[in-house]
Amino acid sequence: MSGFIEENSSGLLCFNWAKPIGSYGSTCECYVVQIDGKRFFMKRLRQEHINDQAYRALFRKEYEKGISMSHPNLVRYEKLIDSDNDCYILMENIAGETLDNFIKSHPDYFSSRTNLDKFFNQLLSALKCMHEHHVIYSDLKPQNIMITQVNNDVKVIDLGFCYTDSYPDSAGTTSGFSAPEHLNRGKINISTDVYGIGKIIEYIGKNLTKSLPPIYTIIMAKCLKEQQADRWQSIDEILTLLNKRSKPWKKWLTYIMVVVTSLVGYVIWQKSSETALISNDIVSVNYVNYSNFNKKDKTCEVIGKDSLKNHTIYIRGHINYQGVDYNVTSIANSAFKDYKYIKTVHIPHGLKSIGDGAFFGCDSLLIINIPNSVTKIGDLAFYSCKGVTELILSQNLKEIPSACFVATKISRLNIPEGVEVIRLDAFAHCSNIKEIKLPSTVKHLERGVFYNCLSLQRIELPASLERIDEYLFFGCECLSDIYIYAIVPPRALVMHRNPSQITLHVPAESVEAYRNAPFWQDMNIVAIEE
């Protein structure tokens, strides 16, 4: 039996036994205790902090909010002891592992879409419950998510850093999982937890042996937006997208419509192989479908293909519809998604934008040639185009979007001048790239831009670079030399698993600055030779 607690007039409980299980940060101790045969988890304030009212207030906040919420995926709070000589919280004892340990002991668990969906539905449901009780969790990280021994259910633990209206100054977070507003002392709101969801998706994705399902990449990209207004604005928005499934009758109806449309289109095609009106406001020309005709601007967009399995997609620059010429200015979201037959595609000069996932999974495509008229490309536009060996980008892009060219087979990468930001995972898993020189305009490299580029050996980073996010070169085990021309070391987070294997070449006058800069200092730093 533990000697530090006995039943007395102060209301302290008498434990059958108490087993220490380590520290809980610098202020707390943890125990598993047993009372009348039942086990509890106990979080106890260290004796050296027992008279610190700020720490006691954190305990009171955690207990008050914890006891007010009941949810199967939230740890259950039982009792707070806040006496003159002691301060501790009793809560449900969970038999299981934290997410980080669970992934190590079950490396293939999240490779199953069923398991992945179950995990995130439970985690999102727990966060939704908190938000309904006016609580922002604020500290979402793998160590605060437990997976139960029975049934592998989620349990979110530790409300110590949560944000509430009653305790607005006690919100906290953990380095590496912090939302930008934490670092910039901005306003904490629901979007702060949404950012945390993105970090958890990212964390699981980095530990998978295969790519995340596309829907998770899309959700993650929006969760991790820098600006809070650009993220999902509620947990319900994420749940709705995650669980969106086509109903069986809708699938059959779609199938019937496709068959009928194909038959009608084929009959008309027999009469005119050049142009066929296949339905109201949809025009098919050489097997490509155009729609969304804007009479005011005289523009239209490509919405996809017809049913024929052709290898060449030729997109027209102009379409005549009902006697009026329309300029083709965009390719719609998912227009050619998973169309396995495309080997070549002609994109006309005059096109301005390519939508999200427009050529997602077109793994027979060989060349991507984007004309200079294009100023915007959507997230995942050419995701997993595994056959692509040549990439020509528009000279008028300001950013490379998230996960846009994941898993292509390009060996040379020429990013044009003018690009300022390269987004999340843009060139991840491009295993044939050996050398990269970035344009002089790049300011920001987001998370995992070159993640798992297995052949990458050398890269040049421009003087304009201001910021590098996590995991930029994770999995780049052949990378040996980085040349950077910025005089002041850019703000950076952990870039490589083994930074000591990399020689960092920097301006001669900046050698000492880089040797004292976080994350840069772990590399072998030398001056750039004249």
Taking only the tens place, the pLDDT of each residue in 228-281 is 999 999 999 999 888 875 444 444 444 445 444 444 444 443 443 344 444 458
Phi, psi of 455 (to 5 degrees): -95, -5
Structure confidence at residue 335 as a pLDDT band (50, 70, 90): very high
DSSP character string of 341-381: T--EEE--BTB-EE-TTTTTT-TT--EEE--TT--EE-TTT
Mean pLDDT, the chain, whole residue set: 86
The amino acid present at 408, given as its one-letter code, is: T
Determine the pLDDT at residue 269: 38
What mean pLDDT is predicted for residues 303-320?
Answer: 86
Q: What is the DSSP letter of 317?
A: S
Q: Per CATH, is 17-92 categorized as 3.30.200.20?
A: yes
Domain regions of the chain by residue span = 17-92, 97-242
Coil vs helix vs strand at 103: helix
**Burial of 511 by CB count in 10 Å (0-12 exposed, 13-18 middle, 19+ buried)?**
middle
The amino acid present at 366, given as its one-letter code, is: L
Helical ranges in 416-523 per DSSP H: 511-515
What six digits make up the tokens of 31? Answer: 């125990």
Taking only the tens place, the pLDDT of each residue in 409-467 is 999 899 999 999 999 999 999 999 999 999 999 999 999 999 999 999 999 999 999 99
Strands 17-24 and 28-35: antiparallel
Asked if residue 135 lies in contact with residue 102, where contact means CB atoms within 8 angstroms, the answer is: no
Question: How much of the chain, in percent, has pLDDT values that exceed 70?
Answer: 87
Residue 513 has pLDDT above 80, yes or no: yes
Structure confidence at residue 373 as a pLDDT band (50, 70, 90): very high
Determine the pLDDT at residue 288: 92
**What is the CATH code for 97-242?**
1.10.510.10
Taking only the tens place, the pLDDT of each residue in 150-168 is 899 999 998 888 888 766 5
Q: CA 58: distance to chain centroid?
A: 31
More reliable by pLDDT, 308 or 316: 316
Taking only the tens place, the pLDDT of each residue in 1-41 is 333 344 444 445 667 777 888 655 667 888 898 888 888 99
CA atoms of 198 and 219, how far apart (whole Å): 7
Determine the pLDDT at residue 12: 52
Q: Say what the pTM is.
A: 0.55
